[in-house]
Amino acid sequence: SSTYRFGYASGFVARLNFTISFIGAGFDFCNWLEYYIQKILDYAPIRLLQMQGKEKEFRKAILDDMKNPSPEFNRETLLSLKDETLPDIDDILLQNLKKNSSYMVSVLIRRYATSKILPEVAEFLQQKNKDKFNSPLDEGEIFAYLMKYEREETIRYLKKSLAAGNTYSLRVLYGLYPDETEEIYLDVIGRLDDEAAGRILLEMAREGTGKNIDGMLSEFEILTKIRAEGFNESGECKDYYKRTIFLLFLLQNKKMKFTQVQKDRLFGLLTVEEKKVFLQFSQNLRDSQ
């Protein structure tokens, strides 16, 4: 459709403008390109081992790279081993975590670490939150690791911590433990300030299971009625943009299956213009499938 073509074209223009803005801000494209070409060249030998069927050499190269504070191989390669855990590198991963090195250390801990280092990992996370120090640690990955071994304790901790005003990036956790994450969010969202509640609502619309649409609509209704920033029905873009994002996430999330009652309830909370946009986007998504 012409609307779809326009959307694609406008997306291309946006990406082009984004690149130009980087260059205009002093971004050195040549250095960036050289860096990634070098990354490809560095990766070529490990890929060659795999293609030649040299599994022992391939495995050793991956394990050696995992021990680096800042692994060089890409995420897919580092996570390609079939081992459930790698006890021999527990202590090394813990040391690298404490060195505040690459975020990939968090990924490796979640994927391969045993429960042996869990107490120290949990302590490091709590200290980071307490002292507010900068770290490349990926909180979603670390909470997923904790959830793997201590589900109930992790759920209780997150509920308490979020309700106390702490914020986390939990997209990875939501992807790996969707029901548990949604349980946590639904439990705390009514106790949060408007900004935090809105942020969680958007995350539920984007990543949610579709099992708690009524709860999401209730929170959307509350934020609309109290005219929370970003959830106003009119005004400038900053006044209503979160409403728009919420609707787009609902439409793009294929797990969101509305009953007619839920759809009617949502429409009762939308402006006339929002209803038109919602219906148009719904049709465009159906046409593109």
pLDDT tens column, 193-237: 999 999 999 999 999 999 999 999 999 999 999 999 999 988 888
State the Cα angle at 93 between 90 and 97, rounded to 5°.
140
Residue identified by tokens 């009617």 is 264
The rounded distance, in Å, linking the Cα atoms of 138 and 129 is: 13
pLDDT at 279: 83
pLDDT at 10: 45
| CA distance readout (Å), 132 to 5, 122, 135, 284 | 45, 15, 9, 44
When comparing pLDDT for 277 and 176, which is higher? 176
Mean pLDDT of the chain: 84
The rounded distance, in Å, linking the Cα atoms of 72 and 108 is: 13
HEC string for 48-78: HHHHCCCHHHHHHHHHHHHCCCCCCCCHHHH
| Position 130 confidence tier, pLDDT thresholds 50, 70, 90 | confident
**Which string of b and e fits 272-286 if b means at least 16 CB within 10 Å?**
eebeeebeebeeeee
Quick: pLDDT tens for 67-99. Answer: 999 998 888 889 989 999 999 999 999 999 998
The rounded distance, in Å, linking the Cα atoms of 284 and 146 is: 41
pLDDT higher than threshold 60 for residue 18: no
| Position 278 confidence tier, pLDDT thresholds 50, 70, 90 | confident
| CA distance readout (Å), 142 to 212, 226, 285 | 25, 35, 35
Helical segments of the chain, H only:
2-24, 29-51, 55-66, 75-78, 90-98, 104-112, 118-131, 139-149, 151-163, 171-176, 178-188, 194-207, 213-225, 237-252, 260-267, 272-288
> Comparing 126-130, 149-153, 188-192, 222-226, which segment has the lowest mean pLDDT?
126-130
CA count, 13 A, side-chain hemisphere, 97:
28
